[in-house]
Amino acid sequence: MDSLVIGVDSSTQSTKAAVVDAATGRLLAVGRAPHTVTGEGGARESDPLQWWDALGAAVAAGLKEAGADPRAVTGIAVAGQQHGLVALDRAGQPLRPALLWNDTRSAPQAAALTAELGAPAWLGRTGSVPVASMTAAKWRWLRENEPRTAEAAAAVRLPHDYLTERLTGTAVTDPGDASGTCWYSTATGAYDTELLDLLALDRALLPEVAPSGGTRVGTLTAGAAGALGLPGGIAVAAGTGDNMAAAVGLGLGAAGLLDHPAVSLGTSGTVFAATRTRPATAALAGFAAADGHGTYLPLGCTLNCTLAVDRIAALLGLDREDAVPGGEAVVLPYLDGERTPDLPGASGLMTGLRHTTTPAQLLGAAYEGAVFALLRALDALPGGAGGDAPLRLVGGGARGRAWVETVRRLSGRAVVIPRTTELVAVGAAALAAGAAGGGDPVAVAAGWRTGEGETLPAVAADRETLDRIAAVLDRATALLTTQGHR
């Protein structure tokens, strides 16, 4: 019986469970189950209990689709959406819905935290400057707006921590996901006690930090095994955040490719690279990688990517692939505020329309506006993330012609489309394989060759479009800053 591992991607909108052959990395099946996100205005919340239910449903669906014997499963790991705040009572039950990464209500708290220490101090300690998405800002928001809930909290968890604890009964996180809280120091590799004091957050409420995301932190409890239909006692890895898991799935890290950039096109957009250079710029989140080798994962994130462009397509009555280059039109698709650039109260903006402007051009301009923001973040990566190295495109958008061609046209760089899909879940599977077999997860994924795929050659960068969008953004920043105040 071939040994199998399960990698879980618990994202904003759904849970995916990848059933993977531990020896070859062959993706046998992916089970899926949806999540519900609620909230109006800047609020974005989910009930953590539904994540657990979705995990069970996704694992069951994956095993069924693969026709796999659950007894062949030797390990499991969870990669979760970053930054979310899960507050638990003494019984381990959520005190309220989780505050998600894209909940922008904590923007004033993020600004206040930045002012209290200054951006250089935050960068020096954590590698990041607080923005609305960071967990520290959400904890400050909770203390100010729901003080009774904050005072009642017996545990504070990130989404993947919560699920890992449900699997093992052990409170544990990893350096990668912990580095997105703004209370963990990438300089020291530990929680920063002075920052915890500033946040009025008791260290006892936080999980221990495992050496890496692939560290075996426990075994599947009998209760969890019954809920998931898996054997009790199988290895459970510490897991990590979704972006860190995608990097593992691509084979990025100390045991694999360094300084090779990736662009993830999902609900949010991200650019990142595994590097030995510890970043210190407010334009990036200075995360740690999940590999446990002191590798960093500097990352730029935009809130508005595929979901925002799909919404504009729907408003125009077009299919997402109906786009053509925008011409004179510029669309800044900041439908949920924005993180890069840091404009949490912004809304979408269209300009440069003529009588001759077509709906297809407006849709193309939305693609261009979303990709422009990602490329600005890419420029901030150490060394421009490999200079002319190909961009690895991942996420749902990487399967869309319009996304791929817009990235090629605006970046002027070659593009690699990995053959393996669901790289977050596959990266989590590599973490599970590491926990079950004792190997380095990045080396495991590199051996699986999951980051390889079709390479599309570079084309000349469309500087005219890039300059036009840059000019509009520079002129419109003041207007965008005043929008969306509620």
pLDDT digits (tens, 9 = 90+) for 457-471: 999 999 999 999 999
Answer with the residue of higher pLDDT: 469 or 452: 469
Per residue in 319-362, pLDDT (tens digit) is: 999 999 999 999 999 998 888 888 888 999 999 999 999 999 99
Amino acid at 35: H
Amino acid at 60: A
Q: Find the mean pLDDT for residues 195-224.
A: 97
Amino acid at 386: G
- Domain chopping of the chain, boundaries: 4-250
Catalytic residue among 174, 192, 242, 291: 242
242 noted as active-site residue: yes
Which run of H or of E encompasses 355? none
At 56, is the pLDDT very low, low, confident or very high (cuts 50, 70, 90)?
very high
The 8-class DSSP code of residue 221 comes to: -
Strands (E), 273-363: 285-288, 296-302, 330-332, 349-351
Q: What percent of the chain has pLDDT over 70?
A: 98
CB 299 within 8 A of CB 290: no
Give which of 77, 99, 121, 22 is closest to 210, Cα–Cα: 77
Task: Pick the range with the lowest mean pLDDT from 33-42, 56-65, 381-390.
Answer: 381-390
Query: In angstroms, rounded to a whole number, what is the distance separating the alpha carbons of residues 75 and 441?
Result: 13
4-10 vs 73-80, strand pairing mode: parallel
Query: In angstroms, rounded to a whole number, what is the distance separating the alpha carbons of residues 31 and 48?
Result: 19
Is 160 annotated as a binding-site member? no
Q: Tell me, what's the pLDDT at 386?
A: 52
Q: Tell me, what's the pLDDT at 479?
A: 80
Q: Tell me, what's the pLDDT at 382?
A: 82
Question: Please, what is the average pLDDT of the chain?
Answer: 94
Gyration radius of the chain over CA positions:
21
Neighbours of 400 (CB within 10 A): 20
pTM tops 0.85: yes
CB 7 within 8 A of CB 21: no
Q: What is the three-class DSSP state of 173?
A: strand
Neighbours of 188 (CB within 10 A): 9
Q: Tell me, what's the pLDDT at 197?
A: 98
Give which of 31, 23, 106 is closest to 72, Cα–Cα: 23
| Backbone dihedral angles phi then psi of residue 201, each to the nearest 5 degrees | -120, 120
At 2, is the pLDDT very low, low, confident or very high (cuts 50, 70, 90)?
confident
Helix, strand, coil percent values for the chain (each to nearest 5): 40, 20, 40
Instruction: Determine the longest span between alpha carbons in the chain, in angstroms.
Output: 66
Q: Tell me, what's the pLDDT at 69?
A: 95
Q: Tell me, what's the pLDDT at 486?
A: 45
| 97 Cβ contact partners less than 8 Å away, ≥ 6 residues apart | 38, 45, 46, 47, 48
Q: Tell me, what's the pLDDT at 482?
A: 64
Number of alpha helices (DSSP H) and beta strands (DSSP E) in the chain: 16, 24
Query: In angstroms, rounded to a whole number, what is the distance separating the alpha carbons of residues 137 and 103?
Result: 10
Per residue in 162-206, pLDDT (tens digit) is: 999 999 999 999 999 999 999 999 999 999 999 999 999 999 999
CB 241 within 8 A of CB 90: no
Q: Is the pLDDT at 484 greater than 70, yes or no?
A: no
CB 165 within 8 A of CB 83: no
Query: In angstroms, rounded to a whole number, what is the distance separating the alpha carbons of residues 161 and 174?
Result: 9
Look at the domain 4-250 and name its fold: Nucleotidyltransferase; domain 5 (3.30.420)
Q: Is the pLDDT at 254 greater than 90, yes or no?
A: no
Is 83 annotated as a binding-site member? yes
